[in-house]
Amino acid sequence: MSGNRIYLFDTTLRDGEQSPGVSLNVEEKLEIAHQLARLGVDVIEAGFPIASPGDFAAVEAIARQVRGPIIAGLCRATRQDIDRTWEAIREAESPRIHTFLATSDIHLQYKLQKSREEVLSQAVEAVKYAKKYCSDVEFSAEDASRSDVDFLAQVIEKVIDAGATVVNLPDTVGYAVPEEFGRFIRTMYEKVPNIDKAILSVHCHDDLGMAVANSLAGIINGARQVECAVNGIGERAGNAALEEIIMALYTRRAFYEKEININYGELFRTSRLVSSLTGMRVQPNKAIVGKNAFAHESGIHQDGVLKERSTYEIMSPELIGLSRGSLVLGKHSGRHAFKEHMIELGYQLNEDELDLAFRAFKEIADKKKEVTNDDLVALVMDKVWSIPERFKLTYLHVSSGTNIVPTATVKLAIDDMTFEAAATGDGPVDAACRAVDKITDIYGRMLDYKLNAVSSGKDALGEVVSHIEINGKLYGGRGLSTDIIEASVKSYINAINKFYYEKQQHAGPA
Ligand SMILES: [Zn+2]
């Protein structure tokens, strides 16, 4: 492999999933992992197996099913953590144990209450122990950017001697600035004599909005792996955005002179999938994947782009898989045309999935004249890639107004039976949710919800993404309808179904 090759380590499913309000189930994580494999990232960090049984199950499923990228599992530098991680990733095509320990004095003093000597020997022990299981071991020096450089250099040298194949230097708290962070990486090269025996990695957070800039400064100064997350999600202000790193290295390749191996055409779809499943919407002005990233508003700009695209565009939207075309399908489109169109959009549906999607498409096409690509993507998310619907909405009637108490009547299908309940509430959506509670005997609390018009026009599809608290845990709910109240209630029921599904899964052996 050429020395200019940069490895992309995606942590959407670990650090990204730690974003406040995000909680993905095993199926959702698998969908994202498969998509990351199609995109062609080098490493997928699938989760933190010891954190919870759900995390373990997701990492294990990804390790078993996803082929192509290295599958990494995170663990603290203890035997128990390493054992659990190995158990989860052992069946991966190429497994990696990723162990971490803080090296900054702040963390040593207040968090770990350990001396530098103790931390050094714990790090070495952990790597040696992990190495017994797995040839690929990554060591992260947590809070590296605020660590004493001489101590850090000593830790790095010793963990490489112990067998670490990748050494990650995170800017855990997002405090670094590019010039300084670049110098820091270069210093490590100078101070660690055996550094060429491992791949140096960076992992930057966006607290000051410099995660991508810091990562690129790291790359210029010798880092060969970059850790990032789709749409830049992650702890607090998030991680370096994967799509920004990729497109910076591509668009400015003459400057960086680095190679990456990625299917660019999967970028937009990956962003869309992560946004849909996590419920974290992408801001319109977000670089690369934001709704406005390729929109030209000013007449002068529009005129320029029409004459010659490069006047105002440095990247082509088609390259990242964003097609400019909107409508092709309508009410009279047949199954074959539908199938071809879905393949063009990148959805390789099997026959059962195609049946489901096509039926849902016909229902929507009956209600609205034009079915856009955005509608179709939302439909796949809603109907095909969803967990089993234990509770299914079959009837909804609400009455509300200025001087009446909002009341709702709801019918839900459970197996082959239909159950009905009525309730009052603070508003029509609340009333309907209370009626749902009466039937399901599961009591949720809708903390917030966002309405997203999937397409434009009076008959637009509305997508509601909500956060529902059930038994102290957060569940993301999604609902799709041309009616806003119905979409909201569906998102609530979707979260209830997720809760129910998780409960069923964990009822078996953990
Ligand atoms: Zn992080």
User: What is the CA(204)–ligand 1 centre distance, in A?
Assistant: 7
Give the span between the Cα atoms of 504 and 508, in whole angstroms: 7
pLDDT at residue number 45: 98
Give the span between the Cα atoms of 462 and 455, in whole angstroms: 8
Helix (H, G, I), strand (E, B) or coil at 138: strand
Q: Return the ∠ at Cα 54 (arms to 51 and 58), rounded to 5°.
A: 100
List Cβ neighbours of 435 (8 Å cut-off, separation of 6 or more): 408, 409, 410, 421, 422, 423
Question: Using only C-alpha atoms, what is the Rg of the chain?
Answer: 25
User: What is the CA(203)–ligand 1 centre distance, in A?
Assistant: 7
User: What is the CA(167)–ligand 1 centre distance, in A?
Assistant: 15
User: What is the CA(52)–ligand 1 centre distance, in A?
Assistant: 18
pLDDT in tens, 455-478: 666 667 788 888 889 988 888 888
Which segments of the chain have a pLDDT < 70?
A: 1-2, 323-328, 344-346, 385-386, 455-459, 506-510
Give the span between the Cα atoms of 57 and 49, in whole angstroms: 8
**Strand 370-372 and strand 225-228: pairing?**
unpaired
Residue type for position 114: K
User: What is the CA(143)–ligand 1 centre distance, in A?
Assistant: 10
Q: Name the strands in the sheet holding 392-399, side by side, starting at the edge strand that comes first in the sequence.
A: 392-399, 407-414, 417-424
User: What is the CA(16)–ligand 1 centre distance, in A?
Assistant: 8
User: What is the CA(440)–ligand 1 centre distance, in A?
Assistant: 38
**Cα–Cα nearest to 228, from 214, 213, 212, 217:** 212
User: What is the CA(192)–ligand 1 centre distance, in A?
Assistant: 24
User: What is the CA(372)–ligand 1 centre distance, in A?
Assistant: 37
User: What is the CA(317)–ligand 1 centre distance, in A?
Assistant: 29
How many angstroms from the chain centroid is the CA of residue 205?
A: 15
User: What is the CA(320)–ligand 1 centre distance, in A?
Assistant: 26
HEC readout, 349-375: CCHHHHHHHHHHHHHHHHHCCEEEHHH
User: What is the CA(64)–ligand 1 centre distance, in A?
Assistant: 25
* Long-range contacts, 103-107 (Cβ 8 Å, 24+): 103/141, 103/142, 103/143, 103/144, 103/147, 103/151, 103/152, 103/155, 104/142, 104/143, 104/144, 104/146, 104/147, 104/148, 105/147, 105/148, 106/143, 106/146, 107/142, 107/143
User: What is the CA(86)–ligand 1 centre distance, in A?
Assistant: 21
User: What is the CA(123)–ligand 1 centre distance, in A?
Assistant: 19
**Cα–Cα nearest to 291, from 335, 253, 322:** 322
User: What is the CA(260)–ligand 1 centre distance, in A?
Assistant: 22
pLDDT at residue number 466: 86
pLDDT at residue number 509: 43
pLDDT at residue number 326: 43
**Is the pTM above the cut of 0.85?**
no
User: What is the CA(292)–ligand 1 centre distance, in A?
Assistant: 28
User: What is the CA(173)–ligand 1 centre distance, in A?
Assistant: 8
Give the CA count within 13 Å in the CB-facing half-sphere of 108.
Answer: 19
**Strand 417-424 and strand 407-414: pairing?**
antiparallel
User: What is the CA(341)–ligand 1 centre distance, in A?
Assistant: 38
User: What is the CA(205)–ligand 1 centre distance, in A?
Assistant: 6
User: What is the CA(442)–ligand 1 centre distance, in A?
Assistant: 34
Contact 349, 340 (CB under 8 A): no
Give the span between the Cα atoms of 99 and 82, in whole angstroms: 7
pLDDT at residue number 346: 65
User: What is the CA(433)–ligand 1 centre distance, in A?
Assistant: 36
List Cβ neighbours of 394 (8 Å cut-off, separation of 6 or more): 411, 412, 413, 418
User: What is the CA(274)–ligand 1 centre distance, in A?
Assistant: 18
User: What is the CA(74)–ligand 1 centre distance, in A?
Assistant: 11
User: What is the CA(171)–ligand 1 centre distance, in A?
Assistant: 8
User: What is the CA(416)–ligand 1 centre distance, in A?
Assistant: 46
User: What is the CA(234)–ligand 1 centre distance, in A?
Assistant: 7
User: What is the CA(415)–ligand 1 centre distance, in A?
Assistant: 43
User: What is the CA(19)–ligand 1 centre distance, in A?
Assistant: 10
pLDDT at residue number 344: 66
**Cα–Cα nearest to 354, from 334, 325, 372, 324:** 334
**Cα–Cα nearest to 109, from 147, 79, 141:** 147
**Cα–Cα nearest to 476, from 287, 281, 224, 326:** 281
User: What is the CA(15)–ligand 1 centre distance, in A?
Assistant: 5
**Strand 199-204 and strand 225-228: pairing?**
parallel
User: What is the CA(47)–ligand 1 centre distance, in A?
Assistant: 12
User: What is the CA(174)–ligand 1 centre distance, in A?
Assistant: 9
Contact 98, 138 (CB under 8 A): yes
